[in-house]
Amino acid sequence: MKKTDLSTYDNSRYNPGGNALKRFFWYFCNHLIFTHGLFPLSGLKIALLRFFGAKIGKAVNIKPSVNIKYPWNLEIGNHTWIGEGVWIDNLVKVTIGEHCCLSQGALLLTGNHNFKKESFDLITKEIKLHEGVWIGAKAIVCPGVTCFSHSILTVGSVTTQDMEESGIYQGNPAVKVRARVFEN
C-alpha cells in the first residue's frame, strides 16, 4: 500500500515572486505591522503594501491583525474593507474588487496539497472576488474560486466552487440558499 512520504516533498517548482531579500523584509513587516494588533493605522498598511508591490485602490480600510502572505500577489479595488484577523494566504494572485467586505477571521486560501501523490505536491490557484462581494466572519474561500458580483458567503461557510452573481451561499460545502436582493 502506498503512503504519504513527506520526505519526497519538493516545492522547487513553486515561485512566490519577489526575491529572497524582498520576502525576508516582508516577513518582518507583516509580523510587526500587519498581524500585530497595535498598529490600527490603515494608511500606513496601504503604503507598505504598495511599496511591496500590491495594487491598492482608494479608500481601502485594513483593520488590525490582518495576515497577508505576499503583497505582490494582491490587488484590492476602491472602497474595500478588510476586517480584523483576515488571512489572505495568497501564494498566487488574489484579486479583490471594489466595495468588497472581508469580515473578521475570513480566509482566502490559494494553496492546497495533492493528497493523491505520495509527495503531497503543492497545488495553487488564484482567487477572484468581483465587485460588492461579502465574505462573512470565519468564512473560507478555497483555491481557484471566483465570487461573482455581489455574492455573499455567510459566517463560517466554506466555498470550494464559484459563487454566482448576487447569490447567498451558506454551509460547508457552501450551497446557494437564496438570491441577494437590495431594498429601495
DSSP 8-class letter at 163: B
The pLDDT of residue 1: 85
> Helical H runs in the chain?
20-29, 42-51
The pLDDT of residue 37: 83
Q: Please report whether residue 14 resides in a domain.
A: no
Q: Please report whether residue 168 resides in a domain.
A: yes
Q: Please report whether residue 9 resides in a domain.
A: no
CATH label of the domain that carries residue 52 = 2.160.10.10
User: At which residue does the C-alpha cell 465587485 appear?
Assistant: 131
Flag whether pLDDT at 184 surpasses 90: no
Q: Please report whether residue 4 resides in a domain.
A: no
The pLDDT of residue 122: 96
Q: Please report whether residue 11 resides in a domain.
A: no
Burial of 153 (0-12, 13-18, 19+ CB in 10 A): buried
Flag whether pLDDT at 40 surpasses 90: no
Q: Please report whether residue 12 resides in a domain.
A: no
User: At which residue does the C-alpha cell 461579502 appear?
Assistant: 134
Per-residue burial over 101-134, b if 16 or more Cβ lie within 10 Å, else e, is bbbebbbbbbbbeeeeeeebbebbebbbbbbbbb
**pTM for the structure as a whole:** 0.95
Q: Please report whether residue 3 resides in a domain.
A: no
Q: Please report whether residue 5 resides in a domain.
A: no
- Read off the pLDDT of residues 58-105 as tens digits, 9 standing for 90 and up: 999 999 999 999 999 999 999 999 999 999 999 999 999 999 999 999
Domain that holds residue 59: 19-179
Flag whether pLDDT at 166 surpasses 90: yes
Mean pLDDT of the chain: 96
Please state the domain count of the chain: 1
- Read off the pLDDT of residues 6-19 as tens digits, 9 standing for 90 and up: 999 999 899 999 89
Q: What are phi and psi for residue 127, nearest 5 degrees?
A: -120, 140
